């Protein structure tokens, strides 16, 4: 079974709505006919305008986070149905910046995954170890715990809607990318754990993305690895021409 390929941009807290729509207009012709899925996780305020401008293009718009409740007294939060109505087709969940700066736990991420699936928003679940954990030889165990806690009890038939992103925390925004060998080994490890949860066959259909300082000049060697099915790109997704180059690398090498 061939897995789908993805180039996912994560803008983080960058770009106003006006900047977002200009970007989409520039990116759209550059990724026309790209064989990889081109996703952009944009700030909440840009979801509706970006979705409007991305209509009839190759670009799919999503969010960077959401709350797990359907609605309620949660000041400052956004619910999945609100995202959906604004045009979001997917959301990142459990990004390391959410885990570290906003103290999101695996248990909270698990609830969000369930809610997203229920409301038909595709979850991109992020996992990854810190440098300290890697140095102590705990990277594999950290990933196992995160994946088991975030994706346990997900019905098998829902599993194929999920994307997993392996993002070593030490590689995010640091310019330090994992070597293709490290990334491949960790992706294979993730796939093994997905196999334990959902069965080997299903695990082989789930795309696993690599994230952490991905750039046009390192993406080809990463995507060439057997278990790397795409990339999650922060800084280098902020410029449409750079992100388009990355997206085109994602359709090659397989
Ligand atoms: P980076 O961010 O590409 O800037 O390292 C990746 C991410 O946070 O998803």
Q: At 236, which CATH number? A: 3.20.20.70
Q: pLDDT-derived band of residue 136, with 50, 70 and 90 as boundaries?
A: very high
Judge whether 1 lies within some domain: no
Q: What was the pLDDT predicted at 176? A: 86
Q: What is the DSSP letter of 33?
A: T
pLDDT at 90 over 70: yes
Q: What was the pLDDT predicted at 2? A: 78
pLDDT at 253 over 60: no
When pLDDT is averaged across residues 97-126 and rounded to a whole number, the result is 97
Q: What was the pLDDT predicted at 254? A: 47
Number of domains in the chain: 1
Q: How far is the CA of 10 from the centre of ligand 1 (A)?
A: 7
For ligand 1, mutation pick of 212, 238, 239, 243 (most atoms within 8 Å of CB) = 212
For residue 88, the enclosing domain spans 6-251
**38 phi/psi in degrees, rounded to 5:** -110, 110
Q: Tens digits of per-residue pLDDT, 177-204?
A: 889 999 999 999 999 999 999 999 999 9
Q: Tens digits of per-residue pLDDT, 198-227?
A: 999 999 999 999 999 999 999 999 999 999
Judge whether 16 lies within some domain: yes
Q: pLDDT-derived band of residue 252, with 50, 70 and 90 as boundaries?
A: low
pLDDT at 245 over 90: yes
When pLDDT is averaged across residues 124-130 and rounded to a whole number, the result is 97
Q: How far is the CA of 71 from the centre of ligand 1 (A)?
A: 30
The mean of the pLDDT values for the chain is 96
Q: Which residues line ligand 1 (CB under 6 A)?
A: 10, 167, 172-173, 211-214, 232-236
Q: What was the pLDDT predicted at 177? A: 86
CB-based contact 111:68 (threshold 8 Å): yes
Active site annotation includes 95: yes
The span from the CA of 35 to the CA of 216, in Å, is: 17
Q: Tens digits of per-residue pLDDT, 4-47?
A: 999 999 999 999 999 999 999 999 999 999 999 999 999 999 99
Judge whether 44 lies within some domain: yes
185, exposed or middle or buried, with CB in 10 Å at 0-12, 13-18, 19+? Answer: middle
Q: What was the pLDDT predicted at 1? A: 59
When pLDDT is averaged across residues 92-116 and rounded to a whole number, the result is 97
Angle at 64 between CA 247 and CA 212, to 5 degrees: 50
Report the SS3 class of residue 144: helix
Ligand 1: nearest atom to the Cα of 237: 3
For ligand 1, mutation pick of 9, 167, 177, 216 (most atoms within 8 Å of CB) = 167
Q: How far is the CA of 72 from the centre of ligand 1 (A)?
A: 31
Judge whether 17 lies within some domain: yes
Judge whether 122 lies within some domain: yes
pLDDT at 175 over 90: no
Report how far apart, in Å, the C-alpha atoms of 34 and of each of 39, 138, 141, 160, 176 are.
12, 38, 36, 22, 27
């Amino acid at each position: 079974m061939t897995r789908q390929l993805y180039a996912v941009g994560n803008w983080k807290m960058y770009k106003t709505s006006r900047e977002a729509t200009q970007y989409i207009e520039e990116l759209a012709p550059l990724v026309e006919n790209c064989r990889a899925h081109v996703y952009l996780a944009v700030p909440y305020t840009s979801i509706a305008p970006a979705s409007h401008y991305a209509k009839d293009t190759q670009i799919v718009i999503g969010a960077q986070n959401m709350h797990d409740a359907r609605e309620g007294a949660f000041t400052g939060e956004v619910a999945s149905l609100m995202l959906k109505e604004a045009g979001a087709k997917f959301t990142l969940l459990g990004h390391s910046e959410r885990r570290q700066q906003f103290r999101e736990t695996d248990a909270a991420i698990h609830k969000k995954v369930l809610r997203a699936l229920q409301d038909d928003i595709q979850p991109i679940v992020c996992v990854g170890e810190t440098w300290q954990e890697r140095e102590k030889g705990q990277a594999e165990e950290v990933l196992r715990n995160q994946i088991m806690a975030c994706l346990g009890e997900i019905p098998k038939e829902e599993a194929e809607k999920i994307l997993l992103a392996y993002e070593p925390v030490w590689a995010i925004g640091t310019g330090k990318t994992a070597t293709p060998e490290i990334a491949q080994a960790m992706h294979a490890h993730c796939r093994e754990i997905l196999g334990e949860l959902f069965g080997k066959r299903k695990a082989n259909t789930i795309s696993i993305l690599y994230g952490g300082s991905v750039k046009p000049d390192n993406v080809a060697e990463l995507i060439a690895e057997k278990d790397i099915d795409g990339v999650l790109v922060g800084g280098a997704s902020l410029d449409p021409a750079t992100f388009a180059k990355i997206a085109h690398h994602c359709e090659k090498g397989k």
